[in-house]
Amino acid sequence: MKPVQDYIRTIVDFPHEGIMFRDVTTLFADPRGFRMAVDQMLHPYAGMQIDKVVGLEARGFILGGAIAHQLSVGFVPIRKKGKLPGATISEAYTLEYGEAVVEVHDDAITPGENILLVDDLLATGGTAEAGIKLVERLGGQIVACSFVIDLPDLGGRKKLETMGMNVHTLCAFEGL
């Protein structure tokens, strides 16, 4: 069985020159690779009390939905501002070229629920940090943060671990 990183395509100079884009759509398209990634992302938490999986827009929805299904728990999307129809709370975070805002429904998490936060890629950790803050504002407890890819040179893991988060990744790629 080949490792998860072998299912991930690298696209050079996308979206800007000098960026090595790690494309997980090739992982998702392969039934063995996708199944392996989902299984490996949830394995450390088997037997733990997890009430909901929170997925970060957009690829975190694909992984989070599959993981929530496997764990037989609910799924909560954290979306870009303006995409959710009900009452929401929001959290701004810094991007390389400005600021963005994510939102969650204000009734999506019940205080005391144990949450597994999921996304495809951990880079600077800004989106994940915003997601964690939203969950905590609703009274949820983050059990762990699980990602397919870590880009350690960008410092996201360190940022989340400094916040006291348990961070699990399946593979790492050096550089941007």
Catalytic residues: 59, 96
Secondary structure (3-state) at 135? helix
Gyration radius of the chain's alpha carbons: 15
Tokens 């733990």, located at residue: 48
Query: Residue 171: phi, psi to the nearest 5?
Result: -155, 165
Tokens 């593979």, located at residue: 171
Tokens 């951990």, located at residue: 122
Cα atoms found within 13 Å of the Cα of residue 162, Cβ hemisphere only:
9
Q: State how far the alpha carbon of 149 is from the alpha carbons of 74, 75, 84, 86, 114, in Å.
A: 24, 21, 27, 32, 23
Rounded distance between C-alpha atoms, residue 176 and residue 174, angstroms:
7
